[in-house]
Structure 1
Amino acid sequence: MTHQRLSLLKIIKRSLFIFLGAVLVSVGLEIFLVPNRIIDGGIVGISIILSHLSGWALGLFLFLLNLPFLIIGYKQIGKTFAISTLFGVTVMSIGTTLLHPVPGLTEDPLLAAVFGGIILGIGVGMVIRYGGSLDGTEIVAILFTKRTPFSVGEIVMFINVFILASAGFVFGWDRAMYSLIAYYIAFKMIDLTIEGFQESKSVWIISDNHKEIGDAIVARLGRGVTYLSGEGGYTGDDKKVIFCVITRLEEAKLKLIVEDIDPSAFLAVGNIHDVKGGRFKKKSIH
C-alpha cells in the first residue's frame, strides 16, 4: 500500500511540474515571442512560421507536428516518456490557443527575446527534468545519433540553425537575430533548470597539507572527504589526494579554504550530472 501511495505521489508530482512547465512555455511564446515575430528552435519554431504564413492557430501546428514524433518515441524510447510528452504537448497547445488573444507585454523585441527566452527555458527545463519533452526534434536527434557519428546536441543544433535561418526569410533578418538571442537564453535556462543552482561538483585536491584542508572542509562546509593515495608522475613522490563532492554554491567557499591553507595546492573542479548514495545531501537554499 505504501509503495502504491509513493508511486501515485510521484505520478502526481510529475504531472504537476510538466503541466506548469508547459504553461510557462505557452506564456513565453504567446505573451513575448509570437507577438514580436520571434521564434524558438525545433518544432516550436516551425509551428510559429507555419502559423504566421497560414493564419491558423499555433496550438494546432504544435500538436500535429509533434504527433508523429510521439508515436516514434512511444515505440523507440518508452511508454512513460511518450505519455509524459503527449501530456506536455497537449497542455502547451491548449495554452497557446487560450493565450493567443491576450496582448503581448512589450513591443520591444530585445525585451521580448530576453524574457521570452527565460520563461520558455524554465518551462522546457521543468518538463525535461520530470521525464517529458515538448519538441519532436529531440526524439529525432536521439534516433539519428544511433546511426550517425554526431551527438544529440550537434544534431539538434544543426536542425535549429536551419530553422532560425528560415525565420530571416519570413520575418526579416533582424527578427532572426532576436530569435537567436531568445534561443541562446532559453538553452542556458534549460540547463540551469535541469541541473539546478545546486548542481553537484567533484573536487580533487593535491596538497602536502591534505589533512588540514580535509578537516577544514568537514568543519566549515560540512562535507565528507575521501583521502586517496597517489604517486607523482614526475617526482615519484607519494601523494595524498582529497576527493569530495560539493554543490555549485559551495565552490567559492571551498576555494577560499584551500587558498588560506595552501596557496600552491593543486585544485581541480568538475561538473557531475547526478549523485546518489553515500552521505552526500544537497542542502536547501534559504
Structure 2
Amino acid sequence: MVGALLVAVGLEIFLVPNKIIDGGVTGISIMLSHLTGMKLGLFLFVLNLPFLMIGYKQIGKTFAFATLFGVAVMSVGTAWLHDVPGLTHDLLLSAVFGGITIGIGVGLVIRAGGSLDGTEIVAILMNKKSPFSVGEMVMFFNIFILGSAGFIFGWNRAMYSLIAYYIAFKMIDLTMVGLEQSRSVWIISDEAQQIGDAISSRLGRSVTYLAGEGGYSGDEKKVIFCVITRLEETKLKEIVEELDPSSFLAMGTIHDVSGGQFKKKNIH
C-alpha cells in the first residue's frame, strides 16, 4: 500500500503536471489520459487488467492478487491526488524527485511480492524463452514508450522522461537490495593469514580459508573467502592493499545470505 501510494504521489505531484511520463503501462496511461482527457487512474487500472490475468495463470495467484491490490491503490491514489497542485514546475526537479519517489514505491511493491506494471509481467514470462534478462526486455519496451512521448509532449519532455525513468530504475534497485547489499569476496595472497586476521579484527567479519593451486605454476595457494556489505567494501580494499598490494581480489554481488556466521562480530 505504501509503495503504491508513493507511485501515485510521484505521478500526480511531480510527473503528470509537467507532462513527463514514466515507462511501461504507466507511461502509456499518461499519454492516453492527456489525449482523451479521461482520468489517469482509469487507464492505469484497465490497461493492467489483461496482464494481471496472464500473471494469475502463469505466475501464481499470490503474485496476481498482490499486484491487483497495488494497481488498485495506485489508481485510486492518482484520482485522489489529481486536483492537488504540483510541488514544482521546474522540469529537472520534477524528473529527479518524481523518479526517486516512483522508484522507492515500485521497489517496495516488488519486495512485497507484487508489481505495478504489466510490461514487467510480460518480461518475466518472456524471460523463460528468451536469452535476454527481464531488465533488458523492460528497457526494450520502454524505448518505444518513451520515444512516443516525443511526438505527444515534445522531445524536450521526452528527454526529461528518460531522466525520470533512469532515476526510478536505480532507486528500485537501491530499495530492493538496500545499502546493506552483500558482497562475496575472494582473495588469493601469500599473506592470506595476515589479511584474514585483519578482516576479522578490523571489520568484524568471519573468513574461510580454502586450499587452491596455481593453474600455471602449480604452487599451493591459500584462498580467503568472506561476505561483507557494500558499505564495508572500501575498507576491505584498503586492508588488502596495505598488507599485500600484489594480491588477487575479486568481488561479486549476493542477493541473499542466510546461515553460517554472517552476523557481524562486536569489535572492541
Length-normalised TM-score, structure 1: 0.90
Give the match for residue 237 of structure 1. 219
Q: Identity over the aligned pairs, expressed in percent?
A: 77
Give the match for residue 192 of structure 2. 210
Q: How many residues align?
A: 265
Return the alpha-carbon distance in structure 2 between the equivalents of residues 261 and 144 of structure 1: 48
Post-superposition CA distance 1:255-278 (Å, at most 9, x none): 111122112211111111111111
Q: CA deviation at 1:282?
A: 7.1
Give the match for residue 225 of structure 1. 207
Return the alpha-carbon distance in structure 2 between the equivalents of residues 205 and 76 of structure 1: 42
Q: What runs of 5+ residues in structure 1 fail to find an aligned partner?
A: 1-18
Is the CA contact 1:247–1:282 (under 8 Å) kept in the aligned structure 2?
no
Return the alpha-carbon distance in structure 2 between the equivalents of residues 145 and 276 of structure 1: 27
Is 1:272 aligned to residue 254 of structure 2? yes
Q: 1:189 aligns with which of 171, 178, 194?
A: 171
Return the alpha-carbon distance in structure 2 between the equivalents of residues 282 and 58 of structure 1: 47
Is 1:115 aligned to residue 97 of structure 2? yes
Q: 1:94 aligns with which of 72, 76, 82?
A: 76
Give the match for residue 130 of structure 2. 148
Return the alpha-carbon distance in structure 2 between the equivalents of residues 273 and 37 of structure 1: 36
Is 1:81 aligned to residue 81 of structure 2? no
Is the CA contact 1:216–1:257 (under 8 Å) kept in the aligned structure 2?
yes
Return the alpha-carbon distance in structure 2 between the equivalents of residues 183 and 25 of structure 1: 12
Matches for 1:27-42 after TM superposition, within 5 Å? 27-42=9-24
Give the match for residue 260 of structure 1. 242
Return the alpha-carbon distance in structure 2 between the equivalents of residues 282 and 88 of structure 1: 36
Q: What SS class does the counterpart of residue 246 from structure 1 fall into?
A: strand
Q: CA deviation at 1:230?
A: 0.6
Give the match for residue 108 of structure 2. 126
Is 1:251 aligned to residue 233 of structure 2? yes
Code of the aligned partner of 2:168? A
Q: What SS class does the counterpart of residue 185 from structure 2 fall into?
A: strand
Q: What runs of 5+ residues in structure 2 fail to find an aligned partner?
A: none
Is the CA contact 2:205–2:264 (under 8 Å) kept in the aligned structure 1?
no
Return the alpha-carbon distance in structure 2 between the equivalents of residues 159 and 72 of structure 1: 18
Is the CA contact 2:211–2:223 (under 8 Å) kept in the aligned structure 1?
yes
Q: CA deviation at 1:118?
A: 0.6
Give the RMSD, CA atoms, in angstroms: 1.2
Code of the aligned partner of 1:250? E
Return the alpha-carbon distance in structure 2 between the equivalents of residues 215 and 120 of structure 1: 44
Q: CA deviation at 1:148?
A: 3.2
Is the CA contact 1:200–1:248 (under 8 Å) kept in the aligned structure 2?
yes
Length-normalised TM-score, structure 2: 0.96
Return the alpha-carbon distance in structure 1 between the equivalents of residues 82 and 264 of structure 2: 40
Return the alpha-carbon distance in structure 2 between the equivalents of residues 182 and 243 of structure 1: 39
Post-superposition CA distance 1:196-230 (Å, at most 9, x none): 00110000111111111111111111111010111
Q: Which runs of 4+ in 1 moved over 2 A?
A: 145-151
Give the match for residue 43 of structure 2. 61
Post-superposition CA distance 1:243-262 (Å, at most 9, x none): 00000001111111112211
Give the match for residue 45 of structure 1. 27
Return the alpha-carbon distance in structure 2 between the equivalents of residues 31 and 234 of structure 1: 61
Return the alpha-carbon distance in structure 1 between the equivalents of residues 139 and 241 of structure 2: 40
